[in-house]
Amino acid sequence: MDNFSDYIVYVDESGDHGLQSLDPHYPVFVLAFCIFHKCYYSETVVSELQKFKFRHFGHDLVILHEHEIRKENGDFTFFRNREHKQAFLDELTGIINTSQFILVSCVIEKARLTPQQAESENPYHLALGFCLESLYEFLAEERQEDRVTHVVVERRGRREDDELELEFRRLCDGHNRLNKAFNFDIRFADKKANSAGLQLADLVARPIGLHILRPEQNNRAFETLKQKFYCQGGRQNAGVGYEQWGLKRFPQKSEEPR
């Protein structure tokens, strides 16, 4: 019997999850969950990204990585000029805009953590808890919460992966703010895995962090993502009802460090 849910989740991060030192230019940690309906993902998203790669590179082996695109490293040294790069980014943003997925994210504002929080909390694990809770609420709305949903994350290192899996299992066993058991299964993917879902998750994470850091700054990518966030009151509220729902911030503004 098929006990798998209709959804698949791809996860990526932006920023350093450590607390030993703060990057003054990017003092946040962002975790992003991209939730796809499997049929749509396999039939449309994968195909669109492959066609995009064929158009620009002649093959589909390139892995779209936000940092390398931004820094023009690796496969992304081919831009002839600024206009060429902007056209590439505009086309990629268009694919993200038309792709149908639900976005759940948590931003940990590390500079605003209290000394006690900074000492006791792992930003990745903290963000993971918030995102898994929102994922459960979404799946419950879709009546999929009793079926197994796979959550795909990128490998970071043996020790980090073991710690993450332990925390993931702990949260799924009911040690979460909802006091619910989550029927989720974590899967680790190699950094070289050519996964369309992981690449999209990588592309959306940094614009979320930049929006939190500099909300007044023009951020076309985030304006596209606003319509994707899981939101209170259903999709009719897309783009407006997502704050502290599909996009969570920690600490909240009322939780300023003393």
Q: Does residue 73 have a pLDDT over 60?
A: yes
Mind giving me the DSSP string for 3-43? Answer: -EEEEEEEEEEES----SS--TT--EEEEEEEEEEHHHIII
How many Cβ atoms from other residues are within 10 Å of residue 120's Cβ?
10
pLDDT digits (tens, 9 = 90+) for 166-219: 999 999 999 999 999 999 999 999 988 999 999 999 999 999 999 999 999 999
R_g over Cα of the chain = 18
Q: What is the pLDDT of residue 23?
A: 87
Q: Does residue 256 have a pLDDT over 70?
A: no
Q: What is the pLDDT of residue 111?
A: 85
Q: What is the pLDDT of residue 258?
A: 31
Q: What is the mean pLDDT of residues 118-124?
A: 79
What are the backbone angles phi and psi of residue 107, rounded to the nearest 5°?
-115, 120
Q: Where are the alpha helices (DSSP H) in 58-195?
A: 66-71, 82-98, 115-120, 123-141, 158-172
Q: What is the pLDDT of residue 95?
A: 96
Q: What is the pLDDT of residue 54?
A: 98
pLDDT digits (tens, 9 = 90+) for 82-91: 999 999 999 9
Q: What is the pLDDT of residue 249?
A: 94
pLDDT digits (tens, 9 = 90+) for 129-148: 999 999 999 999 999 999 99
Range of the domain at 15: 4-255
- Structurally, how many domains does the chain consist of? 1
pLDDT digits (tens, 9 = 90+) for 10-66: 999 999 877 777 888 899 999 999 999 999 999 999 999 999 999 999 999 999 999
Q: Does residue 115 have a pLDDT over 80?
A: no
CATH code for position 137: 3.30.420.10
- Average pLDDT score, the chain: 91
Classify 88 as helix, strand or coil.
Answer: helix
Lowest mean pLDDT among 4-8, 108-112, 229-233: 229-233
